[in-house]
Amino acid sequence: MCGIAAVLALAGLTATATVTSAAPIRPAEPSTVPPGGLTKPAARVTLLTGDTVRVDGNGRVVEVRPGKGRSGIGYSVRRVAGHTYVVPLDATRLLGSGRLDRRLFDVTQLVKDGYDDAHRKQVPLIVSYDGSNAVQKEARDSLFAGPAEVTHRLPAIHGDALTTDKPDTGKVWQALTDSAGGRSAVTAAPGIDRVWLDGRVKISAQAAVAPDPHGGVAQIGAPAAWKAGYDGKGVKVAVLDTGIDATHPDLKGKILKAKDFSGSGSTDDRQGHGTHVASTVVGSGAKSGGKYKGVAPGAELLVGKVLDDTGFGDNSDIIAGMQWAVAQGARVVNMSLGEVDTPGVDPLEKAVNDLSASSGALFVIAAGNSGPSDTTVGSPGAAAAALTVAAVDRHDKIASWSSRGPTADGRLKPDVAAPGVDIIAAKAAHGTEGNDEATGYVSMSGTSMATPHTAGAAAILAQEHPRWTGERLKSALTASARTLSGVTPYDVGVGRADLPRAIGTTVGSEPSSVDFGTPDPWPHDDDTPVTRTLTYRNDGTRPVTLDLGITAAGPDGKAAPTGMVTVSPARLTVPAGGNAKATVTADTRLGSADGVYSGAVTASGDGQSVRTALAVDREVETHTLTLVTTRRDGKRDNEPDVTVAGLDTGKQFTPYDDGKARNGTVTLRLPRGRYAISAMTITPAGRSAQLVAPHLVLDHDTTVALDGRKAKPVKVTAPDRRATLRDGQVVFAARGAKPAYDLAIGTDLDAKTTFLGQVSPNAPAGSFIAQAGGIWQRTATSPAYNLVTTRTGGFFDGLTRTFASNRGMARVNTSVATALTKAQTAQNNAWTTPGWPALDQATSTLEGPLRTAPTAKIVQYLSTGHGVRWILGTRTQNGTDGEGMTAFATSRRFEPDRTYRVTLDGGVHGPIVTPTKVVGGLRIGRYYALCVPMFSDGPGDFSYSAQNSVHTRLTSGGKVIGDFTEDTCPNTYSNLRAGTARYKLSITADRSKGYKISDHVEGVWTFTSTNTPETRAAAWPLSVVRFHPELSLTGTAKAGARITVPLSLQGPAAAKGRLKSLTVKVSYDGGRTWKPVTVHSAASGKPYLTLTNPSRPGAVSFRTALADTAGNTYTGTIHNAYRTVR
């Protein structure tokens, strides 16, 4: 898997609203956006349950909307390790049992991977089955009688891949579960074993810096193998990647078969990664006169295109490609791809393990490029049967970005290393990745490049030993690897692949590594020595006598104490064609340093040398944490939703997910330290208990009773005694040693069914905060009370509070405008708490009841205690399909006992850019991120609007760089030209259905952009013109009136001295004809127009053109910017 040095990320936007002291509403000009008050444009995600979630780019949940028939089912929001999870309460039991993939509710990753509603219209799943054949058939029939469609049969994991259109996900949820509605947690339907997200695997190119013309082929000793007569001849090698350029001279005559699994409709490599990888394995070097020959140029190539033209692929496509590869007789399968590993065996890992066992093929898989941190080996590289490959440079030094072990569940990986830095190989004719080197060749870096070196080496061994299985090939490659200095087996396995030693060896060891895991718990005075059997196999014609030894070092880098790890016998004779066994013993009573000891078992003699990686964990001070969970009805709960967060380490545990709880009890072995615990348990009647241990110091074996019976109810009364809780939530955050270690969780608050309780002592000052808040309102138009209660240091043991009056609250007279003809509106507000960013991520938006009037003026009262800030917003829908517009104002502090006026969603809607916060365009190297909201309201608030259509096109020098018929926010793309170039960006957005104003908006930008290092981002120089006439709440002005239209500029042209020219035209006939208008300059220097509205009712449209002094231009058109009425 290649690694990119920098990650493209859009900063967010929630621009300023019109907020003034109590006074009549005036024409609004946008204020300067304050630092830190910005979020990305929102994205909407449909969950498997049918509920929809809208989040902004900072992970804040903007809106959770129940699916059809799911009203009244609550949800929790949790922010863990930078990811926001939104979990409907009826899914908690399946999550707790480990039968439902948590990634299905990770809205942060779902948006990042393009599963949001703007970019994907279906929810893709992988389902495995259990039970009798009849039960499984019934489960399948139930699934596929409805809206679910099979995309792949996956016998390798005893399951299917399927998709369902997002409007139908609720029906599929019911077919997968025993769902009967209500708040109660559901279980899996008969015959359903597990349900996973059909996740996205990707490659990402990392530019080479100083390519080595001799490359890794020579480094691993391939020329010596060729000289010995081995070049992989007759061995089938499958490359599962982005396809192949079959026309490249280095690959002509090499391809036996090629098949597309990606849905791109062709096996042609339009990305470049697959061709580079394949030529590293089998390339002839014909185009370079043999200079850039692959490792095994005699091997035969099977090509499975499992990744699309952007380098992404679904898990199910990859499994289907794996099944096809072994069915075609592949002895070696190269997979230079991966995704984040999680504890347990995921579908990709299961497929690797099962297909390896059933076919005898060797799967050679990239470790990943997420180093140098530990536990970063990806999936499927974490599969036990895989030969997992790390990357080294030309000097045999580990690449800084090469992923390190152990796996997510603590196993020893990777297995071996190979060259992966600055590798030159074939360039795909239609590819976009890599740096051009010699004609027809590009350079790339990554474990993606190390993997085909190793796969080629495996093909050479497979030619030498036609009867060897994949397991034996793996053993030979690891046993013969060259020792590297300054690294551990968790970095590079046994060392760097060494073909001259591999082809000369007849002796190998099985297993390929000796992993003791954690043999005994801390303390170690009474530990019992443990043993592992190591089998040496001799495929030669003569017996071999080996001298055995151990090399191992501890966590401090010093040699392991004598006798801590031993092997016996010291000398071993392995008969010709037979095997002999040795015993490796670990005695963790010895030594004083706790931690992981690693090294190798060495065996040498009679011209043979074998090394086997080993590791043993002498557990650091660790204690047993026992959790006992009881529901409010007194029943023990084996499937609660529980998170244990290590505040000193940042590691998160969900101990009930493995389905092994008995009588509500689980145990964990955890290092001494500080922990926070969150538990949600729900009765069949839907009564939920949120239980929290804000600060648990684990310095001895401890039992925590998570007893829902001890949780207490919530009773909050607003000043209006007849106001009821319309939407509420309880949130808390525990502060870790680093911000990334914080735990933050928010839970839906229902006054009738939610109970709260604390189950540990309070936390130290400043390390924990809990808040409960909501909207209390009698009717949709009566005063709304936005109330928050804060507790520091501890969680709530129930909550009883009466707000006797409005004293201490801020009053906000809120005017809600609308752009829709038939509208319903509701307030969408959220609070933030300074100093607690993790808490803000878990705090979702509160929504009031819908109002049937298209516009509204309501009074809102806001809590002001504990420094709380408010983001005031409105959601408008058209009353038929629920689509519409959402507008949010910037987070700000409202002072107690003061009155404010706010207008939302008013004025002329049009595009906005804020280059300093990268709402517009941004590039890093040849990658770019693009996000131009086309319908932001007059005050400049971020406004998310439903769109009939949007078309975005980016070109340069007549070449199309990107062409999208979907909302680009907030995704990233590649393919920018190297060096400095001119670009043209065109965006057309239409929302004519149901909208009265700004129904069609166009923007065209021309600009210059220069390539940047992959460590630095640069904003594109995009500018826009904004219009600010004084309009009614329905977007109208008086017909025949003479009005002033203030203008404002955003982007580089707004800077002093940067505007070269600005022209404006106006149309009164829907854009059929245009006439220029004079742009005046006020005494302040700000531009404005003076117009006379048409005497008859109609509409006014604007067209602008500007240029800045650097030669960048913008042309924008807003059709029906406002309407005129008598």
Rounded distance between C-alpha atoms, residue 473 and residue 666, angstroms? 40
Rounded distance between C-alpha atoms, residue 474 and residue 460, angstroms? 12
> Do both 766 and 812 map to the same domain?
yes
**Element at 1021 (helix H, strand E):** none
Task: Classify residue 522: in a domain, yes or no.
Answer: no
Helix 273-282 / helix 447-464 crossing angle, nearest 10 deg: 30
> Do both 304 and 366 map to the same domain?
yes
Sequential DSSP letters for 474-531: HHHHHHTPBP-SS--HHHHTT-B--HHHHHH--EEEESSEEE----SPSP-TT---EE
pTM comes to 0.80
At 437 the three-state DSSP class reads coil
CA dihedral 256, 259, 265, 267 (to 10 degrees): -40
Rounded distance between C-alpha atoms, residue 757 and residue 966, angstroms? 45
Q: How many domains would you assign to the chain?
A: 5
Q: Give the single-character DSSP code of 909.
A: -
Domain ends where: 904, 928, 951? 904
pLDDT along the chain (1126 residues), means of 10: 29 26 25 29 83 76 83 79 84 86 92 86 94 89 88 93 93 84 71 93 60 77 96 98 97 97 95 97 96 97 95 94 98 96 92 97 96 93 97 95 93 96 95 88 94 98 96 96 94 96 92 94 94 96 97 93 97 96 97 93 95 96 97 94 92 85 94 95 89 97 97 96 93 88 85 92 95 94 96 96 96 88 82 88 82 85 93 76 65 93 90 71 82 84 73 92 74 74 95 84 96 82 96 94 96 93 97 97 93 95 97 98 96
Question: What are residue 790's DSSP bridge partners?
Answer: 771
Tokens of 1061: 């020219």
Active site residue ranges: 241, 273, 448
Tokens of 369: 């490029």
pLDDT score, position 40: 42
> Do both 836 and 933 map to the same domain?
no
Tokens of 449: 């490049």
> Do both 655 and 544 map to the same domain?
no
pLDDT score, position 917: 52
Rounded distance between C-alpha atoms, residue 1087 and residue 1049, angstroms? 9
Task: Classify residue 492: in a domain, yes or no.
Answer: no
Task: Classify residue 261: in a domain, yes or no.
Answer: yes
Q: Determine phi and psi for 169, rounding to 5 degrees.
A: -65, -35
> Do both 934 and 1072 map to the same domain?
yes
> Do both 192 and 207 map to the same domain?
no
Nearest to 83 by CA among 67, 61, 106: 106
| 642 neighbors 678 (Cβ within 8 angstroms) | yes
Domain ends where: 853, 881, 904? 904
Helix 347-359 / helix 470-479 crossing angle, nearest 10 deg: 100
pLDDT score, position 38: 29
Task: Classify residue 1000: in a domain, yes or no.
Answer: yes
> Do both 328 and 250 map to the same domain?
yes
Domain ends where: 464, 486, 501? 464
CATH number of the domain at 1011, please.
Answer: 2.60.40.1930
Residue partners of 154: CB distance under 8 A and separation at least 6:
126, 160, 161, 316, 319, 320, 323, 347, 351
> Do both 614 and 633 map to the same domain?
no
Residue partners of 467: CB distance under 8 A and separation at least 6:
none
At 254 the three-state DSSP class reads coil
Rounded distance between C-alpha atoms, residue 1061 and residue 1053, angstroms? 9
CATH number of the domain at 392, please.
Answer: 3.40.50.200
Nearest to 297 by CA among 442, 466, 426: 426
> Do both 135 and 214 map to the same domain?
no
> Do both 332 and 460 map to the same domain?
yes
> Do both 336 and 416 map to the same domain?
yes
Which amino acid would we find at residue 809? M
Burial (0-12, 13-18, 19+ Cβ within 10 Å), 1060: middle
CATH number of the domain at 569, please.
Answer: 2.60.40.10
Residue partners of 548: CB distance under 8 A and separation at least 6:
567, 568, 569, 570, 571, 572, 582, 601, 602, 603
Task: Classify residue 910: in a domain, yes or no.
Answer: no
pLDDT score, position 1009: 94
Task: Classify residue 495: in a domain, yes or no.
Answer: no
Domain around 352: 202-464
Helix 470-479 / helix 447-464 crossing angle, nearest 10 deg: 110
> Do both 150 and 267 map to the same domain?
no
Q: How far apart are the first and last CA of the chain?
A: 65
**Element at 1037 (helix H, strand E):** strand 1036-1038
Cis before 223 (ω within 30)? no
Tokens of 1062: 């600005």
Which amino acid would we find at residue 1019? A
Task: Classify residue 515: in a domain, yes or no.
Answer: no
Rounded distance between C-alpha atoms, residue 197 and residue 342, angstroms? 13
Task: Classify residue 502: in a domain, yes or no.
Answer: no
Rounded distance between C-alpha atoms, residue 602 and residue 585, angstroms? 14
Rounded distance between C-alpha atoms, residue 232 and residue 234, angstroms? 6
Rounded distance between C-alpha atoms, residue 275 and residue 250, angstroms? 10
